[in-house]
Amino acid sequence: MTEKSTKRPLRILCLHGYRQNGSTFREKTGAFRKLLKKQVEFEFMTSPLEVPPLESADDKDGGSGWWFSRPDDYFRAQDESDCVKGFEESLGAVETAFKEKGPFDGILGFSQGGAMLGLICGLQQQGKLSYSFKFAIFVSAFKSRSLPHQHLYAEKITLPTLHVFGETDQVIEKPMSEEHLQYFHDPEILMHPGGHFIQLLERRKQFMLSSLKK
């Protein structure tokens, strides 16, 4: 009599984009989660940094971010800055998520969360993390231009990685995501014709499954 497979789903910690939180990012990834529901268990966390609401916004909740590129709690992906306000606090929150909700097999990061994930990968590559993970998935990610982060790109990251980005992304333009690839050894790439979101159609399912198996 053959034993039933006891293989558990992969567990992935998800890092939201700027001006999002764990709940809003979860809502935006419904189709993606449905696609992989038998293979993956997703955990969505919220960063500890509150972003000031936009003056023009009716909603007074500005969402959250992973660090600020200016001391007045502002972030722009293109900013070359000495400021990384809140970064250490966010690193601590990810460490706490691993301690309290982990372990996790991998991490998925979207937009600024993807940039944060790249920095966490750099810390792991340099042996500076108290926890570990086996793979990373980047969606609309980019290299941080903040000067205090540059040492985390010094070693090429050998962790298996998948990089998803859109040809028509107007927020994090395709060249920014392509620039990020050079810091990873043998990155796997999934490019789609869309914009600044996770676009994984049914026809991409086998690609995703084969990437996760690797």
Catalytic residue among 144, 149, 169, 177, which?
A: 169
Which is nearest to 111 in space by CA: 25, 53, 209, 193? Answer: 25
Amino acid at 102: G
Q: Do the bridges between strand 10-15 and strand 40-45 make them parallel or antiparallel, or are there none, so unpaired? A: parallel
Residues in the chain: 214
Clarify whether 177 is annotated catalytic: no
Instruction: Map residue 54 onto helix, strand or coil.
Output: coil
Clarify whether 196 is annotated catalytic: yes
Instruction: Map residue 50 onto helix, strand or coil.
Output: strand
Instruction: Map residue 214 onto helix, strand or coil.
Output: coil
Catalytic residue among 47, 90, 111, 140, which?
A: 111
Instruction: Map residue 161 onto helix, strand or coil.
Output: strand
H-helix or E-strand containing 42? strand 40-45
Clarify whether 5 is annotated catalytic: no
Q: What are the tokens at 93? A: 């929150």
Q: Classify residue 194 by burial, with Cβ atoms within 10 Å: 0-12, 13-18, 19+.
A: middle
Amino acid at 200: L
Residues 115, 22 contacting (CB under 8 angstroms): no
Q: Give me the active site residues, please.
A: 111, 169, 196
